[in-house]
Amino acid sequence: MVDTLVVYEIKYDGGESEVFVSPYHELLLRRSWGRVLDVPELIYVFGTSEELRNFFLPAQMPVRYYTVRKHIRTSGAVDYALLPLGNYKEARFHVSMYKKVNQGIKVPFDSFGTVLKVLQEDYESSIPLFFEYSIEKAIVPAYSNIYLGLPASYYSHLYEDEI
């Protein structure tokens, strides 16, 4: 059996980012090319896109409780750690001193709502002026995600049914 990977391509002026949702309940946001989304743009895209809002509806995600730990570096960059208050995975991500998510975000799928909430609380979530974007959705067989640099656990199980 081949699992599928849901991919949303977000195209905007000066760059493109991708949101990958694996069949193993992990979410990866990364830049494809060009400039990186800053935090207000990221919040704006996830708040205004009908496709993304429907996909990430809180009703689809179980309630998860986290303790948020922030490490503010001398440059102004912030490392976040969402420590779980239960038996589920922690989430870690980084925001640069320029409010960019240039290292991407790789977190458990059901913690992404909390990630967005933390970012909204910490950063100005004003609507970016003159920011336009488009979103395309694709469904990709999981075995073709090797180029993503994802861990072997993403594709090591694919041939278990055939063995």
Q: Is residue 83 part of a domain?
A: no
Q: Is residue 90 part of a domain?
A: no
Which long-range contacts does 97-101 make (Cβ < 8 Å, 24+ apart)? Answer: 97/73, 98/38, 99/38, 99/39, 99/40, 99/123, 100/36, 100/37, 100/38, 100/39, 101/29, 101/36, 101/37, 101/38, 101/39, 101/42
Q: Is residue 67 part of a domain?
A: no
**pLDDT classification of 163: cutoffs 50, 70, 90:** very low
Number of domains in the chain: 1
Q: Is residue 52 part of a domain?
A: yes
Q: Is residue 74 part of a domain?
A: no
Q: Is residue 57 part of a domain?
A: yes
Residues 6+ apart with CB under 8 A from 114: 64, 66, 82, 91
- Return the percentage of the chain with pLDDT > 70, whole number: 77
Q: Is residue 95 part of a domain?
A: no
The pTM (predicted TM-score) of the whole model is 0.76
Report yes or no: 33 and 81 within 8 Å, Cβ to Cβ.
no
Host domain of residue 126: 4-62+101-154
pLDDT computed for residue 160 by the predictor:
42
Q: Is residue 96 part of a domain?
A: no
Of 123 and 24, more confident:
123
Give the least confident one: 10-24, 49-63, 68-82, 103-117: 49-63
**pLDDT classification of 79: cutoffs 50, 70, 90:** very high
3-state SS class at 133: strand
For the cut 60, the answer to whether the pLDDT of residue 146 exceeds it is no
